Amino acid sequence: MKLRPTKADLEAARDRTVPDVIGPGLDVVFVGINPGLYTAAIGHHFGRPGNRFWPALHRSGFTERQLDPAEDRSLLERGLGVTNLVARTTASAAELGREELAAGAAALRRKIRRHRPRAVAFLGLDAYRLAFGVRQAALGRQPEPLEGAAVWVLPNPSGLNASYQMPDFVRLFGELRRSTTSPASSAAARPRSRAPRCR
């Protein structure tokens, strides 16, 4: 039985970082805004119960089953990765300033140049607009690539984001999946034989 972090665990997680799940040549790198306290306390991405990232990933066809946050490193076997725009953990993304987001954007550019994924998917429209100065950006594929990678913006999957429901996530994640995987590749959702890659 998994034990949930205590209040003390959550407070102790403030300002921690969560290791990237990233490697060269991935199909998609998902970019969260920054880790929340629950995620940092357990050390795995999108860890809070109620976050819709893992269900959306499965229901849109990226994974053959719904993964547990503790399995986040197995995304590499599926051609997927996860990083954050800002590495620092906070209780709320509202604690991040414009300068911190801009610095995170510069750091992300360096990661994308190094690892060369096919696509980068930002999970949060407002954070993307602020970090990259694209005020008129809308959800979906963006007209300009990022260091050669196609750019998509998807809603923030936090359970606190009431503006979007699961069907919205499944539709938008599905559009991304169809744009980055071959129609003939029904194996896209299954683990690949290649070894996991570290940051």
Q: pLDDT means per 10 residues in the chain (199 residues)?
A: 83 93 97 95 95 97 97 97 96 89 95 97 94 93 96 94 93 96 50 48
pLDDT single digits (tens) 61-77:
999 999 999 999 999 99
CATH number, domain 19-181: 3.40.470.10
Output the pTM of the full model. Answer: 0.90
Instruction: Annotate 125-162 with DSSP letters as a single string.
Output: HHHHHHHHT-TT--SEE-SS-BTTBEEEEE----TT-T
Judging by DSSP bridges, how do beta strands 28-32 and 119-123 pair with one another? parallel
Task: Please report, for the chain, the start and end positions of each structural domain, with discontinuous segments joined by +.
Answer: 19-181
Rounded Cα gap, residues 171 and 157, in angstroms: 13
Look over the chain and give the mean of its residue pLDDT values, rounded to a whole number: 90
pLDDT single digits (tens) 161-173:
888 999 999 999 9
Percent of the chain predicted with pLDDT > 90: 80
In three-state secondary structure terms, 70 is helix
Cα distances (Å, whole numbers) of residue 48 to 55, 95, 113, 173, 180: 12, 18, 30, 20, 27
Residues with a catalytic annotation lie at 34, 45
